[in-house]
Structure 1
Amino acid sequence: MKIGFIGSGSAAQTLGQSFAKAGHDVKLGARNPEKLIAWLSQLQQDEKVSIGTVREAADYGDIVFNATPGTASLTALSDVGSQALQGKVLVDIALPLDFSNGELTLAVANTDSLGEQIQRAFPDTKVVKTLNTVSSAVMVNPRSVANGQHDLFISGNDADAKRIVTTLLKESFGWESIIDLGDIRSARGTEMLLALSSRIHMGRGHMNFNFKVVG
């Protein structure tokens, strides 16, 4: 499968490299692709990974990941354009983090979510929200926590798109439990888990944890 990334930060690099190891063809897109040349040269599976502009990455991918900073996601996706994303599955892993008041909060919450905003802005794109409740290291290696016995959540309006993404994550990274929360409005809940996970992070001093639903 061809996977395109809009965004070139640590999450995109971690996911991109890991998808390539799982046998997929990957293109990371950045406004300035040159900044990724050094990273690309360090990879052993060069034939599976390439770099380009955000538009080139979106055109390339059968599935496209939004791995941009959440407060900049709508602008970045607008730069890509609706035509490049039309009919495609867009996996949104971003969180709209707001540090403006000196405290980590969400720029959108409670009655809306970033996932919903993206879906409204791109009605012909199949937006799927997932992976936003774990660190990038856990995204690609769920067995590093409790031998994989914990849960990932997925939200979206298109059932087929969610099944495609669920299969991709299970087969590529070994996720065992992915809970479908329903339509894209359920992204409000997973995005707002930040309030809890950030406190757990502060208390434990690391991000190598996740949630498990029991009962």
Structure 2
Amino acid sequence: MRIGILGTGTVGQTLGSKLVALGHEVVLGSRSKGNAAAGDWADRNGPRAQAGTFAEAAAHGELVVNATGGTVALSAVELAGPENLAGKVLLDVCNPLVFSPTGELTLDPVNDDSIGEQLQRALPQTRVVKALNTVNVAVMVDPDRVPGEHQLFMAGEDTEAKAQVTALLGEFGWPAGRVLDLGGIDAARGLEMMMPFWMRLMRHYGHADFNYSIRTAN
């Protein structure tokens, strides 16, 4: 599959490298042509890996991943071009994290909105699916780093789009039975609000190799 990734940070590069290793053709997109981080990533990952702008990554991808920071996600998709994303699945993995000068974590937006919803409103012809935002990037692409049964969560309006994302997550090592569909894109609010708790857990454990395990009575 041709996949475009918006964002050249650790999340974008890690997802991109895993996708290339799985045989996909990936363009890692940045705001400007000639981005050094994207170019270095492409050089390390071989002929199926290319660097480009947000617009080039979006145009290339049959599926596109938003791996930008939550505070810049809307400007990133504007640069990517709604026309390049129309009709496609946009897998949104970002969180709306805002850190104060003293390191205190807040979310923006929070409670009555989410980045997932904002992206869907900004891109009405795109099928936005929220997933992968509740685990560390290393666990995203290697769930066996955490032993036992543990789950991912997913939200979005389009059933077919969610099925496509579930299949891709399966390639990462997440069986479909461990991907919990929480319904429409408004469920992204709860997923994004899990992050302050996740940060507390990381401080408690001293590492990020953990995840949530949901068990029910039936």
Q: TM-score range by the shorter chain?
A: over 0.9
Structure 1: distance between partners of 2:123 and 2:209: 33
**Counterpart in 1 of 2:12?**
12
Structure 1: distance between partners of 2:16 and 2:113: 29
**Structure 2 residue 93 is matched with structure 1 residue 97:** no
Instruction: Return the offset for 1:101.
Output: 5.7
Q: For residues 111-141 of structure 1, give each alpha carbon's deviation from its aligned partner in whole angstroms, at most 9, with x where no partner exists.
A: 1111001101111110000000001100000
Aligned length: 211
Structure 1: distance between partners of 2:8 and 2:191: 23
- Gap runs ≥5 in structure 1: none
**Counterpart in 2 of 1:185?**
186
Structure 2: distance between partners of 1:152 and 1:48: 28
SS at match of 1:23: coil
Within 5 Å, give how 1:122-201 maps onto structure 2.
122-147=123-148, 149-170=149-170, 172-176=171-175, 177-201=178-202
SS at match of 1:95: coil
Letter in 1 for 2:141: V
**Counterpart in 1 of 2:39?**
37
Q: For residues 163-212 of structure 1, give each alpha carbon's deviation from its aligned partner in whole angstroms, at most 9, with x where no partner exists.
A: 00001110x21102100000000011111111211100111111110001
- The two structures have a TM-score, normalised by structure 2, of 0.94
Mapped contact 2:96–2:107 kept (Cα < 8 A): yes
SS at match of 1:146: coil
Letter in 1 for 2:211: N
Q: Indicate the percent of aligned positions where both proteins have the same amino acid.
A: 46
The alignment yields a C-alpha RMSD, in angstroms, of: 1.1
Structure 1: distance between partners of 2:108 and 2:101: 11
**Counterpart in 2 of 1:56?**
56
**Counterpart in 2 of 1:209?**
210
Within 5 Å, give how 1:79-90 maps onto structure 2.
79-90=79-90
Mapped contact 2:70–2:95 kept (Cα < 8 A): yes
- Gap runs ≥5 in structure 2: none
